[in-house]
Each structure stands twice: as C-alpha cells, then as structure tokens.
C-alpha cells in the first residue's frame, strides 16, 4: 500500500503538468479527491492494513491529499490570473509591446479645423438629416423640376420624394423654417451623389454649408468672411478670388478660388497652370429661398456658401486621390 501512495503521487505530478484549463483541473479533482477517487479508495483500504502500519500510511495519505489540494488550488489561481507560470523568469529588460495609438481621421481633423475657424467668428454649428425630402433638397432651394440635378441619375432616390441629400444646402432651409434671423451658422455633414468612383469622385463626401441672414448682410460680408477663412486654413499669404457663377439658390452667385498653394500662383500642374484652385460655391441668398421659408426678402438679406471637406483636405495636405480617405489603409491614415 505504501507503494500505491507513491504511485498516486507520481501520476498526479504528471497529470498536473498537462492540466491547463479549468475543466481538466476539475477532472483531476474528481480523479484524485472525489468520493470515488484514488485517495478515498486507499483510505477505504486502511482498515485491512496491519495495525502498526496503519497510522503511518494514514498520515502519508493525508499529506498527499493536502498536497494535491494545494497544487490544484495554485494552478487554478494561476490560470485565472493569466500569468506565466515561471514568474521569476520574466525578463524585465525585454522591449514592451507598444499599444497602437488611435487618432482622428484626416477628414474629421479637417472638419474640426473648418468648424473652429467659423466658430471663432461667431458661427453656430447645426446639422440636418442625410435622408431628406425632395422639397428640402430642391424645391425650397429654387431648383426647378427640369434641373439636371433632380434626375435619378444625379441623385440617390429612396422613394419618389425621399432621397439621400446631394448637398448640405438642405439644412439652410431647415434652420430658416425653425428660427427668425439673425442666423449665423455652419452646417457640416455627409452628402451623396451616384458618381462613379475615381481619383476625384466619390458617391459620398462631406460638405460644410454656411449661412448668415440678417438685416443688411452684404456681399462684402461674404467676401470678408471667406477671405479670413482661406487665410486661416491655408496660410496668411493665400489670396482669394471670386468668379461669377450660377446656383439657383443664390443671386448673385460666385465660385471661389484660392491662389495655388503649390506654386503660390505662378502656375503648375496642380492648378492647370492657372495659378488658382477652386474651393467652394457661394452667393447672396436668393429671394425665392426667403419666400419659400416665409422670410420677407425686403427685410432680410444673407449670404450662403458650401465647400467640400475632402477637396479642402486634398489641397491642404497634397493628396491626389479621394479614394484614399475611404480605403482605411493605415499607412495612409497614420500620416495625419
């Protein structure tokens, strides 16, 4: 029987080495300490032993039982703490594992920068829905039925009168419907157009809309605001140019260019040798828009502008392909 005790100890030492999860530890507990386990089986045989041997073997058995209990407990603790077994052997001079540091997406960063500039000028930030009624995307903005942008090929329709907004100008209407002037707000958000994706087109991109309405808002207010914006965004030396243009919801309308940030206006490939880069559309709010929201065009005037955030980021950081923003390639994203 003393031989049996030794054997049990040996087989336990083997078993415990390979028990590396909770269920195999429980298996060992049943095998050795269970009611029908190896220890109690030997205990049961004690009475058949010679009287003088009994106390000695009994003590040995109890010690073995304690030993097994202790080992099982220790191993269980080890497993649940997830530590390496050989604590003394951890090499504290090994280089650590650096956690990857998160950062804002370059579009979010650019958007925040644009927002900050306008907020510092007293603009409030407003948002509107991306799924929008046709009325807000077109009618209220004086875009007539025959306008090409209303075509199903130029806009994502969900139902006849529901669509993914194609510009953030929708939010101009939503604000003016709700509040009376003075209004001084910017409206950032996503917009959608069913364009084939290439280096300069994406079916989704971001815009920041601007709107200022009060008594006596003049074109010079628009110029002053955008001049200041482009200087803060692209540097003090940046020049701004207003070219006559057309939008149904502004009159007069302008396309706004900045002096090329690559060649400083001398002419290069990026600016097609013109020295200028187009960055946004703008104008004085069309009186038809005021009428659509119930403002008196005789009482109020205002300006509006809309810019593409991807375009601003591409110019500012010298990025030549819009797809890079959306491909989630960490090698690109971690540069900003």
In this complex, which beta carbon is closest to ligand PHE, that of residue 155 or of residue 250?
250
From 64-72, 269-277, 286-294, 302-310, give the range in contact with ligand PHE by CB under 6 A.
302-310
Member of 65, 167, 193, 311 binding ligand PHE (CB under 6 A): 167
From the list 33-41, 49-57, 70-78, 278-286, the region that binds ligand PHE by CB under 6 A is 278-286
Q: Report, in Å, the least distance between residue 298 CB and ligand PHE.
A: 21
Pick from 305, 312, 322, 325 the residue near ligand PHE by CB under 6 A: 305
Any contact of residue 281 with ligand PHE (CB under 6 A)? yes
- Secondary structure (H, E, C), the chain: CHHHHHHHHHHHHHHHHHCCCHHHHHHHHHHHHCCCCHHHHHHHHHHHCCCCCHHHHHHHHHHHHHHHHHHHHHHHHHHHHCCCCCHHHCCCCCCCCCCCCCCCCHHHHHHHHHHHHHHHCCCEECCCCCEEEHHHHCHHHCCCCCCHHHCCCCCCEEECCEEECCCCHHHHHHHHHHCCCCEEEEEEEEEECCCCCECCECCEEEEEEEEEEECCCCHHHHHHHHHHHHHHHHCCCCCEEEEEEEECCEEEEEEEEEECCCCCCCCCCCCCCCCEEEEEEEEEECHHHHHHCCCCCCCCEEEEEEEEHHHHHHHHHCCCCHHHHCCCCHHHHCCC
Among positions 216-275, residues that touch ligand PHE (CB under 6 A) are 247, 250
Contact status: 189 vs ligand PHE (CB under 6 A): no
Question: Binders of ligand PHE: how many residues, by CB under 6 A?
Answer: 11
- Residue, CB closest to ligand PHE: 306
Among 110, 137, 169, 259, binds ligand PHE (CB under 6 A): 169
Q: Which residues bind ligand PHE (CB under 6 A)?
A: 167, 169, 209, 247, 250, 281-283, 304-306
């Amino acid at each position: 029987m003393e031989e049996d005790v030794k054997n049990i100890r040996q087989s336990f030492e083997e078993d415990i080495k390979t028990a590396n999860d909770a269920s195999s530890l429980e298996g060992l507990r049943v095998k050795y300490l269970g009611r029908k386990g190896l220890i109690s089986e030997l205990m049961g045989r004690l009475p058949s032993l010679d009287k003088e041997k009994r106390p000695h073997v009994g003590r040995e058995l109890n010690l073995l039982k304690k030993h097994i209990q202790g080992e099982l407990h220790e191993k269980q603790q080890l497993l649940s703490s997830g530590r390496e077994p050989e604590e003394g052997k951890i090499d504290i001079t090994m280089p650590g594992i650096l956690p990857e540091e998160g950062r804002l997406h370059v579009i979010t960063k650019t958007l925040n920068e644009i927002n900050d500039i306008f907020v510092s000028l007293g603009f409030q930030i407003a948002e509107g829905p991306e799924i929008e009624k046709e009325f807000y995307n077109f009618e209220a903005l004086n875009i007539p039925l025959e306008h090409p942008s209303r075509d199903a090929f130029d806009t994502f329709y969900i139902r006849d009168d529901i669509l993914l907004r194609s510009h953030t100008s929708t939010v101009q209407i939503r604000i003016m419907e709700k509040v009376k002037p003075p209004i001084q707000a910017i409206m950032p958000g996503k917009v959608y157009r069913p364009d084939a994706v290439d280096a300069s087109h994406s079916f989704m991109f971001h815009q920041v809309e601007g709107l200022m309405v009060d008594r006596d808002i003049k074109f010079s207010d628009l110029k002053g605001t955008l001049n200041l914006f482009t200087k803060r965004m692209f540097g003090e030396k940046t020049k701004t140019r207003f070219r006559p243009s057309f939008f149904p919801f502004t009159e007069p309308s302008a396309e706004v260019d900045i002096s090329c940030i690559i060649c400083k206006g001398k002419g290069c490939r990026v600016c097609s040798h013109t020295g200028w880069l187009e960055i946004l559309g703008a104008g004085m709010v069309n009186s038809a828009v005021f009428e659509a929201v119930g403002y008196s065009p005789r009482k109020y005037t205002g300006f509006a502008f809309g810019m593409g955030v991807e375009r601003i980021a591409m110019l500012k950081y010298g990025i030549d392909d819009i797809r890079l923003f959306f491909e989630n390639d960490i090698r690109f994203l971690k540069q900003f």
